[in-house]
Amino acid sequence: MTKTIAHELAKKQREISIAEFFERNKHILGFGNPTRALVTAVKEAVDNSLDACEEAKILPDILVEVHTKGEDGECKIIVEDNGPGIIRRQIPLVFGKLLYGSRFHAIRQSRGQQGIGISAVVLYGQLSTGKHTIVISKIDEKRPAHLYELAIDTNKNTPEIVKNEVTKWDKPHGTRIEVTIVGDYKRGRRFLYDYIQSTSIVNPHAQITFVEANGEKHVFERVTDTLPRPTVELKKPHPQGIELGTLIKMAKNTSNRKLSTFLKKEFTSMGERTTDAVCRIANLDKDANPKELTRDEFIRLLKAFKKVKIMAPPTDCLSPIGETLIKRSLKHETQEISPEFIVATTRPPSVYSGHPFQVEAGIVYGGKLDANSPVKILRFANRVPLLYQQGGCVSTSALSDIDWRRYKLEQRGGKGIPNGPAIFFIHVASTSVPFTSESKEAIADVSEIENEIKLALRECARKMQHHLNKKEKRIKTREKFELITKILPEIAKKSASMLEKPVPPLDAVITRIMDVVWIEDIITYEKVERKKVQTTLEGFDEGKNYGYITKSQLLVANYKQKPQKFNLYALIPSDAVVGFIDPKPAKIEEGKYIKWCLPAIEPTGKLEITFELAGLDKGDFDENDLYVEGINPEYVIGADKWEGD
């Protein structure tokens, strides 16, 4: 038989190793240039360390060192952690084989899932410098540490073990990686510092030490000793997040012989009623064998999933940071600029295409921030900073779509990134973050995520606007009040002296000029012992050491001409415990608010309210969010109108 061109072409066809593919496409994984390569290498190692520590319930203590070598652009990166370590036989696979990991099949919030990250760093180091990677790991203080010198066989995607020996290491447990890559430290230093600082903000339970090439040390201290809430893995996918090919594969591999049983047992949130509704809309017999369904029947089933109202999947697979810790982290890392105001919020969990997700946002305002420059945007996904591709991220587009002029920031045409003295924090946590590329630097434009980001940002913006309005009104009224209380008494004294009469009372004049209800908000912190907290606070948790009591003193003064009677609300942080309150409130909604029905306060009369909170650290709580009901809020300085629960 005569050989054709097709036969000749067939000889050239061969399987491509995944390692060989990434060898030629380094940019896909974030190694496109020496500056980004430096940050990506550190990022992948730190992500692994954080995940390992959290899974082992260990407070992370991570060391990052960078050493430069000569003028050839070589950078030696060292990342060391105090995690649980890696067992000996798995060390070569974890670091020397792409697509080897423990989280790919797990449906829960996680930093890394593909099993590419750290092995890609080893591969890039090998390709760019020809040098091997050193890994030391120890799983217990009574066991020896193991040292491996590794490379990757790109043709087979398998680890090459150059050296394997037992070594001494003074840490009780942990992992250390030393990798040499070509990186531009001179240009990348600022990005690297920003990455580590941002990682510290979004991981308040971690302590990260960064040692620069010149020996300068930066310690990013943890601001809480509480580990993130453990995530619970979803064992089954949600029907609204499934694709046709996956649905067909699941049906062909199932052991269930009835369609109804298949739907209930293989998917989450599918009960009897939901299953019946899906089968009815898809016009399928619920007793049909799922293995025997046709492609058209699978398409009808997929369409029915979208038409039926299916309960959202469980959200304990997510682990948000929480608004108190976000505020605490932002305050700690921005203390050099002395911000005037910090606010944060955590939205309730939501769902896109069957994937649970949750959005958190925050705003740092004022201080030494430049009022004429564009605001700084800190973007995060699953507690990992997103440093690049800001313009292509849904977080940026959501922020740009809001009219920030109404919140006192400059913005031409009400679109685009505003100018002003502010830093924006946006965190998206999900079981499946829809990144725009494998380098995971930007989140795709998903309408459900964009809407939640907008809601979170607007919630923070309203609080910022409330603070600025309250501050502005308070400054004007205070100036007016101080002017009146200084000048009027002097006029009254001189007039009385000239007429040789007693000084007249000024209360009526002051109320006529002031014509407001003034609420003064004073917050102090008291460091306390456990016993004192127990006697002071009714909601005390015996297993927790609170450390501080936040004391709030509200002084309500009536400078109107008639008695004023109204309701006063003080919002409570969700993770605070309410203790001593005087006077007794009308209602307490734990984690929401305290309500007082105030008695009528006579003109120039004053009323004092005090209450205590525990569970907050010093500085977590700068001012109370106060609201009034039953009085025109325009009359009140220091509180806004109550809009209901």
> How do residues 508-527 score in pLDDT, each as one tens digit?
777 777 888 889 889 988 88
| In-domain check, residue 66 | yes
Domain boundary at 192, 220, 248, which? 220
Residue 586 and residue 602 in contact, taking contact as beta carbons nearer than 8 Å: no
> pLDDT above 70 covers what percent of the chain?
90
What is the predicted pLDDT for the residue at 604?
86
The pLDDT of residue 96 is 81
pLDDT tens for each residue of 61-109: 999 999 987 667 889 999 999 999 999 988 888 888 876 544 444 566 6
Residues 512 and 571 in one domain: yes
Q: Which residue has the tokens 């004092």?
A: 608
What does each C-alpha distance from 401 to 3, 64, 427, 454 come to in angstroms? 62, 38, 17, 8
Residue 54 lies inside a defined structural domain of this protein: yes
Mean confidence (pLDDT) of the chain: 85
Domain boundary among 249, 275, 307: 307
The verdict on 59 and 174 lying in the same domain is yes
Q: Does residue 397 lie in a domain region?
A: no
Which CATH number belongs to the domain containing residue 287 in this structure? 1.10.8.50
Other CB atoms within a 10 A radius of the CB of residue 15 amount to 6
Q: What is the CB neighbour count within 10 angstroms for residue 102?
A: 14
Q: CA-CA distance, 326 to 371, in Å (whole number)?
A: 23
Helix (H) or strand (E) holding 152: strand 145-153
Q: For residue 200, give Cα distances in angstroms to 121, 228, 572.
A: 22, 14, 26
- 3-state SS, 373-433, equals CECEEEEEECCEEECCCHHHCHHHHHHHCCCHHHHCCECHHHCCCCECCEEEEEEEEECCC
Q: What is the mean pLDDT of residues 335-347?
A: 89
Q: Mark whether 584 and 633 lie in a shared domain.
A: yes
Cβ–Cβ under 8 Å, residues 184 and 38:
yes
Clarify whether residues 73 and 185 are in a common domain: yes
Taking residue 40's Cβ as centre, other Cβ atoms within 10 Å add up to: 28
The pLDDT assigned to 514 comes to 80
Contacts of 173 (CB under 8 A, 6+ apart): 82, 83, 84, 85, 138, 139, 140, 141
Q: CA 43 to CA 62: how far, in whole Å?
A: 12
Shared-domain flag, residues 243 and 141 = no
Instruction: Report the alpha-carbon distance of residue 558 to residue 511 in Å, rounded.
Output: 8
Residue range(s) defining the domain that contains residue 102: 18-220
If asked whether residues 200 and 248 sit together in one domain, one would say no
The predicted pLDDT at position 102 comes to 47
Q: What is the mean pLDDT of residues 372-384?
A: 92
Residue 148 lies in a domain: yes
**Residues whose CB falls within 8 Å of the CB of residue 119, separated by 6 or more in sequence, listed in order:** 94, 95, 96, 97, 98, 100, 152
Considering the domain architecture, whether residues 61 and 200 belong to the same structural domain is answered as yes
φ, ψ for residue 126, nearest 5 deg:
-65, -45
DSSP-derived secondary structure for 64-95: EEEEEETTTTEEEEEEEE-S----GGGHHHHH
Q: d(Cα 166, Cα 174) in Å, to the nearest integer?
A: 15
For residue 432, tell me if it sits in a domain: no
Classify residue 488: in a domain, yes or no: no
Does 604 map to a domain? yes
Q: Kindly state whether residues 159 and 292 are assigned to the same domain.
A: no
**In a shared domain, residues 54 and 190:** yes
For the chain, how many structural domains are there in total?
Answer: 3
168 with 276, same domain: the answer is no
In angstroms, rounded to a whole number, what is the distance separating the alpha carbons of residues 602 and 547?
39
Give dist(CA 106, CA 109) in Å, integer.
9
Same domain, 103 and 76: yes
Note whether 396 and 403 are within 8 A (CB): no
- Say how far residue 267 (Cα) sits from the centre of its chain: 29
**Distance, CA of 137 to CA of 131 (rounded, Å):** 20
Residues 216 and 244 placed together within one structural domain of the fold = no
Sheet of 61-69, strands arranged across = 158-167, 145-153, 133-138, 174-182, 74-81, 61-69, 207-211, 217-220
Q: According to the model, what pLDDT value does residue 210 have? A: 95
